[in-house]
Amino acid sequence: MRVVIYQGQQVRDYYSGEEIVFAHEPSAVTVGSYDGVHAGHRRIIGQMVETAASFGLRSVVVTFEPHPRQIVNRDPSGRLRLLTLLEEKAMLIEGLGVEWLFVVKFDSFFAAQSSESFIQNVLLDRIGAQTIVIGYDHGFGRDRKGGVDTLCSMAEQNRFDVMVVDEVRLRAEHFSSTKIRTLLCEGRIKDANLFLGAPYLISGEVIHGAKRGREIGFPTVNLRIGGPDKLLPKYGVYVATTVIDGREFKAMMNIGVRPTIAADTVPAVEAYILGHSGELYGRTLTFHLLDRLRDEMKFQSFQALQEQLKKDEKWVEQYHK
């Protein structure tokens, strides 16, 4: 999948930063913030990819960076925690068979555009949308006033099709990124994964730590998370998996302030990878969280911590997805 950034009239490759020619080409397109790429999002994107394949169209997901709510703030807390940073979002969308991820640089100027302007200038004139697949409740453009009705009113004159994906519910509940954020903050990782349609992922660069884990027989990788807005689940110990050089490993991941060892003020993310040896510094690893073992705890001694970690390790070894 090719990932590009669109700002003004320029299109640049996301990874290299080089300006590229993005051709106007018959495309099936869907639009959204797609934070988390949850099960509801997957249904919309899947329908778009299927439609593209059926009619010989290019498949394009249009998303925004930063998240529009970080510019047009609708979060009463003043800070939106993201389920997926852009590279994580790209990874998940690529796995759904999409050819292009078209990332619109979102700023106050762009936010002021009308929905009609966005449809005409970006989706039609720039990309070449012939079919636009959209969720039943999607809103876009200034004040999110654009939606299904706007698209349908423009479709006949501009000769494109609109495909509306109906609502799907789980346990009679609506799929939403907000719901998933709440579940993660409560530590309900298995419930969050049901709504996501896949395990919640955390990725980051492996950096040097204090190496205290080695002293008690549990060497961990310390992760530098790719951005401060990434939502970390409730502090605790989690069962996770990661893939290194094509091989999947189980891991126990600790998220929190490490009260026994370090008593950090800033939360740390570290993982003990079962069965792996060798240095990983400088590499980016992605962990998929499967379950929650326990709360983060303060132990009276390193020996007590070590004994608990042995129990945790045994539990992870025996864990089945």
**One domain for residues 209 and 165:** no
Q: From CA 125, how far away is CA 54, in angstroms rounded?
A: 23
User: Beta strands of 158-304 (E only): which ranges?
Assistant: 161-165, 169-170, 173-174, 200-207, 221-225, 236-244, 247-256, 268-273, 284-294
pLDDT for 280 beyond 60 = yes
**One domain for residues 159 and 243:** no
Task: Report the pLDDT value the prediction gives residue 75, as an integer from 0 to 100.
Answer: 57
Tell me the mean pLDDT in the region 74-97. 88
Residue 258: pLDDT band with limits 50, 70, 90: confident
Task: Report the pLDDT value the prediction gives residue 266, as an integer from 0 to 100.
Answer: 79
Q: From CA 273, how far away is CA 219, in angstroms rounded?
A: 8
Task: Report the pLDDT value the prediction gives residue 213, as an integer from 0 to 100.
Answer: 66
The answer to whether residues 213 and 220 touch, using CB atoms and an 8 Å cutoff, is yes
Task: Report the pLDDT value the prediction gives residue 218, as an integer from 0 to 100.
Answer: 87
User: Which residues lie closer than 8 Å to 108 by C-beta, 6 or more apart?
Assistant: 71
Residue 244 lies in a domain: yes
Coil, helix or strand for 7?
A: strand
**One domain for residues 144 and 205:** no
**One domain for residues 159 and 221:** no
**One domain for residues 238 and 147:** no
pLDDT for 309 beyond 60 = yes
pLDDT for 4 beyond 60 = yes
The count of structural domains within the chain is: 2
pLDDT for 60 beyond 70 = yes
**One domain for residues 19 and 134:** yes
pLDDT for 253 beyond 70 = yes
Q: From CA 191, how far away is CA 130, in angstroms rounded?
A: 37
Q: From CA 114, how far away is CA 141, in angstroms rounded?
A: 5
**One domain for residues 41 and 111:** yes
CB atoms within 10 A of CB 6: 20
pLDDT digits (tens, 9 = 90+) for 89-135: 999 999 999 999 999 999 988 888 888 999 999 999 999 999 999 98
Please name the helix (run of DSSP H) or strand (run of DSSP E) that holds residue 133, with its range, or none. strand 129-135
pLDDT for 27 beyond 80 = yes
**One domain for residues 60 and 170:** yes
pLDDT for 312 beyond 80 = yes
Beta bridge partners of 101: 3, 61
Q: What is the mean pLDDT of the chain?
A: 91
Task: Report the pLDDT value the prediction gives residue 180, as an integer from 0 to 100.
Answer: 96
Task: Report the pLDDT value the prediction gives residue 65, as an integer from 0 to 100.
Answer: 95
Q: From CA 153, how far away is CA 105, in angstroms rounded?
A: 26
- Six-digit token string for 177: 């990124």
Domain-ending residue, one of 124, 157, 174 = 174
Instruction: Find the domain containing 242 and state its range.
Output: 199-317
- Six-digit token string for 80: 């939106």
**One domain for residues 98 and 219:** no
